[in-house]
Structure 1
Amino acid sequence: MKVLVPVKRVIDYNVKVRVKSDGSGVDLANVKMSMNPFDEIAVEEAIRLKEAGKAEEVVAVSIGVKQSQETLRTALAMGADRAILIVAADDVHTDIEPLAVAKILKAVIDEEAPGLVLCGKQAIDNDMNATGQMLAALTGWSQGTFASELDIEGDSATVTREVDGGLQTIKIKMPAIVSVDLRLNEPRYASLPNIMKAKKKPLDEKTAADYGVDTAPRLEIVKTSEPETRKAGEIVGSVDELVAKLKEAGAL
């Protein structure tokens, strides 16, 4: 079985995001970029499936700017076998919308014929949480979202999902699209030898036009602004005073 893992280049989760002074977007100048954390978990799970003998090949794919090849090299250093970069934008500030990403991934699936697609449940830059579901609709494949456990047996997969009420376990037919949650695993660090080996692994470069997909944005960002500064807390002297304060604030 071949496993396809889409990965996205985003601002590193440890970096404090700055908004441009004119409110036109997020300032990416001299900002550390890295792989979306949820996608990193997906890569790790795909590698574990290969190590367990349940997958033969792990292919990482990224859609965006040329700089995304750095993200793909990270996936290769972790243990992916090869990578595909699909250049769909020239400006690092351009975010390819979920539907366009899903359409390109559908074309890649038609070309690569994987048995499983593992992707992050969402990207931490736009929090869309839509690409996996759209891809499942386009392919007609089974889907398991918010996966915190995954077990592949033959032509089916058992997925434990994190839902509002707790955990839900479902069994789905393969091939399938599975979007992963934070508690699925702990991604490994790439060792120096593997980082060096990753430079020699195949990385194909294509464009969105090669797949006949229009990536023109359908949404327009009108304004970007910083969140409101949190007000300082207030220490109260008793439970009665706390209850009174909560009533004043309309919390009770």
Structure 2
Amino acid sequence: MTRALVGVKRVIDYAVKIRVKPDKKGVVTDGVKHSMNPFDEIAIEEAVRMKEKKLIEEVIAVSCGPSQSQDVIRTALAMGADKGIHVEVSGPEYETLQPVHVSKILAKLAQEEKADLIIVGKQAIDDDSNQTAQMIGGILDWPTGTFCSKIEKNDSELTVTREVDGGLEVVKMKMPAVLSADLRLNEPRYATLPNIMKAKKKPIKKLTAKDLGVDTSARIEILSVEEPQVRQAGVIVPDVDTLIVKLKENGHV
């Protein structure tokens, strides 16, 4: 049975204006709208499409985080995933949870669930780390295709089109494999009301990192979180000569 394990992260919604906590140790999350990481939505959509084409038989959505992370698992189930796994990590432990921890958790789950494919978003919009897929591939020693804008499957071989700085790169790899979804891979579907109702009956297995033998103790210490400097207003100049003078005055040239 071909199984895909898909990582889904609960993040502050992309439309929310981030506010730094008064103690400068993090950002305000209480009472703030959260949703599934947009790149993870693309990853779930791709796995569900592969299942609809009968290229894989089961899609398992996994999220690491506090109890509220079950919300994004339910969203994934409503989009078409078959079952969910919630690895509960909360409190200070969650605040310093890093890609290295998540990668070890997903790698272990892939072995336990006998998954042939792991798909994650290329990065999360909160920490922008872009490390998880690469680390999972390293831990499992599986071929890894990052920044995928197209995925084709033929038996146990994948042909992946990757978005790179110079354009597009096409690579072939054998399964089992790890993939990370880029923006142009697909357009995620909206979960319909009947599917949202059906998702409530789909199973979510609860675990802890300890159950999987993964140590999530902090590897970083957050010293300070600062808001970016406010951009100064621009100045309209009448011509190129004035622009050059202004640049020289401000030491930019």
1:76-111 deviation line (CA, Å, top 9, x unaligned) = 011101000011224596241111111111110111
- What does 1:1-252 correspond to in 2, within 5 Å? 1-90=2-91, 94-252=95-253
Shift of 1:17: 0.6
Q: Is the 8 A contact 1:2 1:114 kept in 2?
A: yes
Instruction: Give the unaligned 5+ runs of structure 2.
Output: none
Shift of 1:70: 0.6
- Matched to 1:234, the amino acid is V
Q: Is the 8 A contact 1:115 1:174 kept in 2?
A: yes
Aligned partners of 2:94, 2:111: CA distance in 1, in Å? 29
Aligned partners of 2:15, 2:32: CA distance in 1, in Å? 11
Local SS of the residue matching 1:10: strand
Shift of 1:190: 0.5
Flag the 1:247–1:175 CA change in 2: closer, same or farther, 3 A: farther
Aligned partners of 2:190, 2:221: CA distance in 1, in Å? 37
Aligned partners of 2:93, 2:199: CA distance in 1, in Å? 24
Q: Is the 8 A contact 1:2 1:116 kept in 2?
A: yes
CA RMSD between the two structures: 1.4
Q: Is the 8 A contact 1:42 1:118 kept in 2?
A: yes
Aligned partners of 1:248, 1:180: CA distance in 2, in Å? 46
Shift of 1:245: 2.9
Of 82-91 and 200-209, deviating more is 82-91
Q: Percent identity?
A: 56
Local SS of the residue matching 1:127: coil
TM-score norm. by structure 1 comes to: 0.96
- Matched to 1:101, the amino acid is V
1:137-192 deviation line (CA, Å, top 9, x unaligned) = 01010000111111111111111111111111111111100011111111111011
Q: Is the 8 A contact 2:5 2:61 kept in 1?
A: yes
Aligned partners of 1:207, 1:243: CA distance in 2, in Å? 60
Of 99-108 and 86-95, deviating more is 86-95
TM-score norm. by structure 2 comes to: 0.96
Of 164-173 and 226-235, deviating more is 164-173
Aligned partners of 1:97, 1:127: CA distance in 2, in Å? 11
Aligned residues between the structures: 252
Local SS of the residue matching 1:101: helix
1:17-69 deviation line (CA, Å, top 9, x unaligned) = 10012211101110001111111100000011011111111100011111100
Aligned partners of 2:96, 2:147: CA distance in 1, in Å? 23
